[in-house]
């Protein structure tokens, strides 16, 4: 695992979703996240779910794998569901449990809000599952390009993102090394009281910070030695290519948007 470590949760693949232009994927997911809030009845939610499922099916990533990504938010979903179930007082009373009564509107409302939540996380998970972090960076840089005119340092931000991504495995390796070195000197990272564990963490963080600053300094020197002088006059090796299929997917989202507007009550 450590020698082929995957940053984020990217699942390598060659499906049509994997090969979409990252800009298209970012736009699709962003638009989807917005239009989810248009849905307010069974038909519109069914449409949204259908789209999400179709998107996942096309990525050829198994549903169970995606579902695992949803696990952490399951509690939040359950909580919202219960909250709506008991707090919404609309329509007929379905059943009565002690002092609490469940209304028809509560069931509907609870189910819709939970579903909305699941769909949001589902689609954003799809983005990170099918796009490498560096592609996301390229996509963000390209999409934010126009902001350069407003003096937003887009190139610098993208470079920062790319460098931090590149150094995650390096720093993880280093953390492991320091932990082993400190453990060899008798530091116990797992046991003991809370205050003792905190002290142990300090013995990890201090060397890690110092070495990170040293790395940053050396990296900056190396970048300068290799002729880096800001984004001006720089060409780019990574190039994004917008393909017809990207337009097709964007059109599909537009269609979904139109349908939602039509069918919402």
Partner 1 sequence: MAEPILSIEGVSFRYPNQSDYAVQNVSFTAERGEWLAIVGHNGSGKSTIARMLIGLLRPERGAIRLFGRLLNDATVWEVRRRVGLVFQNPDNQFVGATVEDDIAFALENNGIPRLEMVERIREAIRQVHMEPFLHYEPHRLSGGQKQRVAIAGILALRPDMIILDEATSMLDPRGREEVLETVRRLNRQQRITVLSITHDLEEAAKADRLIVMNKGEVMAEGTPEQIFRLGSKLERIGLDLPFAVKMGSRLRERGIPLRIGYFTTEELVEELWTLYSKK
CA distance linking residue 109 with residue 89, whole number of Å? 10
Q: Are 250 and 30 in contact (CB under 8 A)?
A: no
Answer whether 84's CB lies under 8 Å from 140's CB. Answer: no
Q: Are 63 and 56 in contact (CB under 8 A)?
A: yes
Largest CA distance in the chain: 74
- Among 70-78, 118-126, 162-170, 198-206, which window interacts with partner 1 (CB under 8 A)? 162-170
The nearer residue to partner 1, 170 or 247, going by C-beta atoms, is 170
Our measurement of the distance from residue 76's CA atom to the centroid of its chain's CA atoms, rounded to an integer in Å, reads 17
Task: Kindly tell me which of 190 and 235 has the beta carbon lying closer to partner 1.
Answer: 235
Nearer to partner 1, 80 or 211 (CB): 211
Q: Token pair for residue 197?
A: 């564990």
Q: Considering only 41-49, 96-104, 220-228, 253-261, which stretch makes contact with partner 1 by CB under 8 A? A: 220-228
Size of the site for partner 1 (CB under 8 A): 30
The helix/strand/coil state of 94 is: strand
Question: Is residue 101 a contact point for partner 1 (CB under 8 A)?
Answer: no
C-beta separation of 61 from 130 below 8 A: yes
Length of the chain: 265
> Which of these segments, 16-24, 59-67, 222-230, 244-252, binds partner 1 (CB under 8 A)?
222-230
Binding mask 104-143 toward partner 1 (x if CB under 8 A, else -) reads ------------------------------x---------
Based on the shown chain and the rule CB under 8 A, indicate whether residue 169 belongs to the binding site for partner 1.
yes
Among 11, 58, 165, 204, binds partner 1 (CB under 8 A): 165
What is the DSSP-derived secondary structure letter of residue 2?
Answer: G
Binding region for partner 1 (CB under 8 A): 3-5, 134, 162-163, 165-166, 169-170, 173, 215, 218-219, 221-229, 233-239
């Amino acid at each position: 695992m450590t020698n082929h470590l995957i940053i984020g949760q990217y699942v390598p693949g060659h499906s049509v979703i994997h090969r979409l232009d990252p800009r298209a994927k970012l736009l699709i997911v962003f638009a989807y996240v917005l239009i989810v809030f248009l849905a307010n009845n069974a038909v519109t939610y069914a449409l949204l779910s259908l789209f999400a499922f179709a998107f996942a099916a096309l990525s050829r990533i198994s549903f169970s794998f995606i579902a695992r990504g949803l696990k952490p938010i399951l509690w939040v979903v359950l909580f919202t569901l219960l909250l709506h179930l008991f707090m919404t007082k609309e329509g007929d009373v379905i059943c009565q449990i002690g002092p609490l009564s469940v209304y028809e509107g509560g069931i509907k409302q609870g189910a819709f809000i939970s579903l909305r939540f699941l769909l949001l996380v589902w689609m954003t998970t799809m983005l990170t599952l099918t796009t490498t972090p560096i592609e996301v960076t390229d996509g963000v840089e390209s999409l934010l390009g126009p902001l350069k005119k407003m003096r937003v340092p887009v190139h610098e931000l993208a470079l920062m993102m790319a460098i931090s991504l590149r150094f995650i495995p390096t720093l993880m390796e280093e953390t492991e090394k320091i932990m082993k070195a400190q453990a060899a000197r008798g530091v116990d990272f797992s046991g003991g009281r809370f205050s003792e564990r905190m002290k142990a963490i300090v013995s990890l963080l201090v060397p890690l910070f110092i070495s990170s600053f040293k790395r940053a300094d050396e990296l900056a020197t190396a970048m300068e030695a290799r002729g880096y002088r800001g984004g001006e006059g720089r060409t780019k090796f990574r190039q994004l290519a917008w393909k017809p299929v990207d337009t097709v997917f964007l059109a599909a989202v537009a269609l979904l948007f139109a349908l939602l507007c039509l069918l919402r009550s």
